[in-house]
Structure 1
Amino acid sequence: MPFPSAPDDDDDFRKDALLASERSGDNAPALSISEISAQLKRTVEDRFGFVRVRGELSGVKRAASGHLYMALKDESARLDGVMWRGNAQRLGFLPEDGVEVIATGKLTTYPGRSNYQLVVERMEIAGEGALLALLAKTKARLEAEGLFDPRRKRPLPFLPRTIGVVTSPTGAVIRDILHRLSDRFPCHVVVWPVLVQGQGAAAQVAAAVRGFSELPEGGPIPRPDVVIVARGGGSIEDLWGFNEEVVVRAIAASTIPVISAVGHETDTTLADFAADLRAPTPTAAAEIAVPVRAELAAQVAELQARRGRAMARMLGHARERLESRGQRLPAPEALLQPQAQRLDDLADRLRRALLHRTEIASGVLARHGGALRPALLTHRLERERERLAARRLRPEALLQRIDHARSRIDALDRLRRSLDPEAPLQRGYVLVTDRGGHVVKDRATAAQRADLTLKFADGTLAVTTATGTAGAEPAPPVPTAPTAPRAPARARPTAGDDQPKLL
């Protein structure tokens, strides 16, 4: 079957053709997907290069790269949006779902998903109502975390030595605070300069509060005892930096008591709820932070006066009680009269007793003095002298006792030598002992002992009775207890010994 031939250039275009064909001069050439996507992208960006749209945020998500992805929607439509990292970092608020905003940017397409999106360059909250709604939503969320719990608030120090102030260094607020502190109670003030509104204000305020808490004790910069976060009055948009979550969390986490003095008395920010105390104005914060020195001096003077009056009153009462009790006591003369009378009585008795004892002693002395005659004393002295001469030591008596003791010692020494068991060994005798060191005196006893020791004058020899052979090694000598010589008996004096004893 033959294949159909291609149509000629003059033939009409057939709609039921199987193969696509292009004729010369055709004004609708086939485009690739990338080409038509690029044309569509240029068309949309040229037509909508600058737009401002109003809508409610939905699906807000911040990527790890810092880019912010979201969707803007109203009652009947939805528009995807993206905000690159540089613009997202300059946002003056924290985007959340449900917040109505006005976004400024340009429309573009995303060929990867065949959709279009808004590249947001600037985003603002759509009106004060939307701002208040965002504020209420943030407040409810932080309150649920317990950051506004009154139980976590700390008392302020009564008399701080150093006060830290977080505010703008060029505004009227710092001058008002310093002036009020100088009037009430001058103290050391450390100012941490920050922006109080606009882009980056919230981050600087939070960093200042954390910086005061991180100051070490005794460092080059004194650590404050209390911190004042202050700003003058303004609109809700001007004060919005103190509603940011980063500021609220920094104040709640501060280790130093914080006084919030943002705006006027009618202005309220989330920083006021997180602080330990809210002051209606910055000037009021300075008044709350320190007492009045003049009032303290007057109070001290009043306390001193009260102390003096109390001491005088107490002394007066004590004096009255002493006088009252003293009146009930008897007179000193009445207390001492019986004792004085007794003293006189005892003194008189003592004098009479001494005279009586003197008379008795005189009689005794006279009685014994009559018996003391010189002739009697001389006779007794001569008699004692004769007894002393009779008791003097004579050399002949001592030499006689020494000779008697020497003869007794010689007799004992001869007896010792005759009784020495080892003396016969020198003459050729042998001493036989068993294993226990007992002397074997007869043959029958020696036959019953297996091991014997023969002691000669020059050593010992071990033998065995069963084999009749001598031991290979001489047995060690059996120790014998030395016989202690008996002390010579003291010679008794004979009847003819007339040597007297001294004692």
Structure 2
Amino acid sequence: MSGLFSDDSPTNLTEFSVSELSGSIKRTIETAFDHVRVRGEISGYRGPHSSGHAYFSLKDDKARIDAVIWKGSFSKLKYRPEEGMEVIATGRVTTFPGSSKYQIVIDTLEPAGAGALMALIEERKRRFTAEGLFDPARKQLLPFMPRVIGVVTSPTGAVIRDILHRISDRFPVHVLVWPVKVQGEGSGDEVANAIAGFNAMQPGGAIPRPDVLIVARGGGSLEDLWSFNDEAVVRAAAASTIPLISAVGHETDWTLIDYAADVRAPTPTGAAEMAVPVKADLEAQVASLGARLSGASSRHMDRRRQDLRALARALPSLDQLLALPRRRFDEAAANLGRCLEVNTMNRRRGFERIAARLSPETLSRRLIENRRRVAERSGLAERIVERMVDRLRGRLGSADAALRSAPARVLHQTGRAKDRLSGLMQRADGAMTAQIRHRRTELLGHDRVLQSLSYKNVLMRGYAVIRDTDDKPISRAGALVPHAQIAIEFADGRVSAVTGEGAEPPPASTPPVKPAPAARASKKAEPPPGQGSLF
């Protein structure tokens, strides 16, 4: 008995591979459900894939089924899928053997009744409002007198004829018509492309760019006007840089483009009336304003003429205008001499303060310091030159010894090196000569500075230094006593003298006596131990 129920016993069941079983299930399901209509809510929709296909799910309160819309079918859909939208999908059920799942391949998609369409419109309206597409701050003002009007509508309907007739009656302007379908499959994309096309025109191009746009359509049911609830149309209207008038349906019909447009017109004829003013009214208003302008100009000229006459009578004479400036000029001329004297006295005091800070000791210290610096730099330059000459002489001697000890072949090969070394030596001698000349020029410059600062040059111009018995310079007359021994130093030597009684200063009117020019002192005279006053 146990042998009859063994696992090794043969069976009559057919053996399938995994692929065969999956293929059999796929054919069975596709045969049984090749054309079905499914009602459910769209879930997990994120827009079309990069390949153009759309993947999402349909669900209700109890079940869920995967759905796919292939790229070719997606472009033909009248209503595009949206997250949370309740739809009726028509297609076929198939399986995906790679993961043992089944899904519905959708061919057509439509909302589940008018209530669903209204719910979809409300949902879009809330979403667009949250994005700010309906914000009143984004709306533009219509131009008062446009030159070109662009109309987006059907070229064969009564709407375009009504618009053209109304514009012709009120104010004839250039009208551009962009023909589109206003209902049916693909009409929303055509309207959106027309709005974007008008905005893409460049000012001054071959086709004039419109100053205002009118998107118009006649009345109809909710399904007929559904193209103007399309998301692409709403976004194109909101993004338009040209002011846009929405004239879709009758006054009671509302679509989402009415909220995104800058202005909503109740009818297409009303849109034409909003776009252009009445030419006759403008002409009458211009004539009225011209008459008012002419009368106002005449009255203004009369008033200005009267004001000019009154001002001419009140204008003072030339003598009255120049009286005050003449008086100011006379007062300034009277004060000019006194101001010059005061200014001269202030300048003299300033010069005296500066002269008080000058002393022979300061100049002597500067001369001694400059001599010391010149001597140090001169000695340093001589030592540097000697060291450089010794260094070059040593290098030359080493090179010469090396050349003498080299074989004849090496001497032959180094002939050019000798020439180069000779050139370098000449350049070195020239550089040393130039450097010595430069140092000598600097030394002579310092010597000229010392000579210009020496008080000997002042003595050569006729001045003299008064010294007491201690050989100290005397700078003031009050420091002398009668019958005192003094020494007067001139440019060419010194003389002894004895002071007399105190002498009165000469009167201011007596011209000063020009001293006799002193003989030029010898350049080899030794400098005195101190310096007297320069004045």
How does the TM-score come out when normalised to structure 2? 0.55
- 1:244 & 1:296 partners in 2: Cα distance? 39
- Counterpart AA for 2:17: S
Cα deviation digits, residues 314-352 of structure 1 (max 9, x gap): 6787899999x8xxx9xxxxxxxxxxxxxxxxxxxxxxx
Q: Does 1:303 align with 2:289?
A: yes
Q: Which residue of 2 aligns with 1:184?
A: 170
Q: Deviations over 1:284-317 (max 9, x none)?
A: 1110000000111111122223334445666787
Residue 39 of structure 1 corresponds to which residue in structure 2?
24
Residue identity opposite 1:35 in structure 2: E
Instruction: Give the alignment partner of residue 55 of structure 1, picking from 40, 54, 73.
Output: 40
Task: Confirm or deny that 1:234 pairs with 2:220.
Answer: yes
Q: What is the CA deviation profile of residues 410-461 of structure 1, one whole-angstrom value per residue up to 9, with x for unaligned ones?
A: xxxxxxxxxxxxxxxxxxxxxxxxxxxxxxxxxxxxxxxxxxxxxxxxxxxx
Letter in 2 for 1:60: Y
Amino acid at match of 1:229: V
**One-letter amino acid of the structure 2 residue matched with residue 97 of structure 1:** E
* One-letter amino acid of the structure 1 residue matched with residue 8 of structure 2: L
Matches of 2:147 and 2:126, distance apart in 1:
36
Task: Quote the Cα distance in structure 1 between the aligned partners of 2:148 and 2:124.
Answer: 33
What amino acid does structure 2 have at the position aligned with 1:18? D
Partner Cα separation in structure 2 for residue 52 and residue 129 of structure 1: 19
Query: Equivalent residues in 2 for 1:197-346 (5 A)?
Result: 197-311=183-297
Paired residue type of 2:128: L
Post-superposition shift, 1:167?
A: 0.9
Match of 1:386 in 2: none
Aligned to 1:410: none
Separation (CA, whole Å) in 1 of partners of 2:177 and 2:222: 25
- In structure 2, the residue matched to 1:431 is none
3-state DSSP of counterpart to 1:21: coil
Q: Does residue 15 of structure 2 align to residue 30 of structure 1?
A: yes
For 2:77, what is the secondary structure of its paired residue?
Answer: coil
Question: Equivalences for 1:342-491 in 2 at 5 Å?
Answer: none
Q: Is the contact made by 2:57 and 2:67 (CA closer than 8 Å) also made in structure 1?
A: yes
Q: Determine helix, strand or coil for the equivalent of 2:246.
A: strand
Structure 2 stretches lacking a partner, 5+ long: 314-535
Shift of 1:19: 2.2
| 1:19 partnered with 2:11 | no
Alignment-derived partner of residue 83 in structure 1: 69
Name the structure 2 match of 1:152.
Answer: 138
* d(CA) in 2 for partners of 1:248, 1:136: 14
Query: Which runs of no fewer than 5 residues in structure 1 stay unpaired?
Result: 1-11, 330-503
Kindly name which structure, 1 or 2, has the bigger radius of gyration based on alpha carbons. Answer: 1
> Aligned with 2:124: secondary structure?
helix
Q: Residue 209 and residue 322 in structure 1: after superposition, are their counterparts in 2 closer, same or farther (change >3 A)?
A: closer
Q: What is the alpha-carbon distance in structure 1 between the residues aligned to residue 3 and residue 147 of structure 2? A: 98
Q: Structure 2 vs 1, CA of residues 59 and 305 (structure 1 numbering), >3 Å: closer, same or farther?
A: same
Alignment of 1:106-125 (within 5 A): 106-125=92-111
Q: How does the TM-score come out when normalised to structure 1?
A: 0.58
Q: CA deviation at 1:185?
A: 0.2
- After superposition, what is the alpha-carbon deviation per residue over 1:357-400, rounded to whole angstroms, capped at 9, x for unaligned? xxxxxxxxxxxxxxxxxxxxxxxxxxxxxxxxxxxxxxxxxxxx
User: What's 1:394 paired with?
Assistant: none
Cα pair 2:79 2:109 within 8 Å, conserved: no
| Cα distance change, pair 13–289 in 1 and its aligned pair in 2 (3 A) | farther
1:65 is matched with 51
Counterpart AA for 2:251 = E
> Is 2:150–2:210's contact at 8 Å kept on the other side of the alignment?
yes
Shift in Å at residue 121 of structure 1?
A: 0.6
Please give the alpha-carbon distance, in whole angstroms, between the structure 1 residues aligned to 2:3 and 2:237.
79
**Other structure's SS at 1:259 match:** strand
Instruction: Provide the C-alpha distance between the structure 1 equivalents of 2:78 and 2:108, rounded to a whole number of angstroms.
Output: 10
Contact 2:250 2:267 in 1 (8 A): yes
Partner SS for 1:137: helix
CA distance, structure 1, for counterparts of residue 278 and residue 288 of structure 2: 15
Aligned amino acid, residue 134 of structure 1: L
Tell me, in whole angstroms, the C-alpha distance in 1 between the residues paired with 2:127 and 2:204. 38
Name which of structure 1's ranges 30-39 and 283-292 shifts more when overlaid on structure 2: 30-39
1:90-105 matched pairs, under 5 angstroms = 90-105=76-91
**Structure 1 range deviating more: 284-293 or 305-314:** 305-314
- Hey, what does 1:432 align to over in structure 2? none
Normalized per residue, the structure richer in helix is: 2
CA distance, structure 1, for counterparts of residue 209 and residue 35 of structure 2: 51
Q: Distance in 1 between matches of 2:235 and 2:283?
A: 39
Deviates more, 1:61-70 or 1:219-228: 61-70
SS in 1 for 2:207: coil
- Report Cα offsets for 1:111-147 as digits up to 9, x if no partner: 2222221111111011111111111111211211111
Write the distance in 2 (CA, Å) between the matches of 1:320 and 1:177.
56
Alignment partners' CA distance in 1, 2:19 and 2:248? 56
Native 8 Å contact 2:51 2:71 kept in 1: yes
Task: Provide the rounded CA distance (Å) in 2 between the counterparts of 1:15 and 1:200.
Answer: 71
**Structure 1 residues 74 and 227, CA gap change in structure 2 (3 angstroms):** same
CA distance in 2, matches of 1:253, 1:112: 45
Amino acid at match of 1:102: I
For residues 2 and 245 of structure 2, the distance between their equivalents in structure 1, rounded to whole angstroms, comes to: 86
Distance in 2 separating the partners of 1:200 and 1:240: 11
How far apart are the structure 1 equivalents of 2:127 and 2:4? 65
Instruction: Provide the C-alpha distance between the structure 2 equivalents of 1:70 and 1:237, rounded to a whole number of angstroms.
Output: 25
Cα distance in 1 for partners of 2:304, 2:200 equals 57
Question: Structure 1 residues 114, 14: CA separation in 2 closer, same or farther (over 3 Å shift)?
Answer: farther
SS at match of 2:184: coil
Q: Which amino acid aligns with 1:287?
A: E
Distance 2:146 2:4 in 1: 94
| Structure 2 residue 127 is matched with structure 1 residue 141 | yes
SS at match of 1:60: coil
Structure 1 position 13, deviation (Å): 11
Give 1:32 shift. Answer: 2.0
Separation in structure 1 between the aligned mates of residue 297 and residue 18 of structure 2, nearest angstrom: 104
- C-alpha change, 1:179 and 1:17, in structure 2 (3 Å) is same
Amino acid at match of 2:198: F
C-alpha separation between the residues in 1 aligned to 2:188 and 2:236? 10
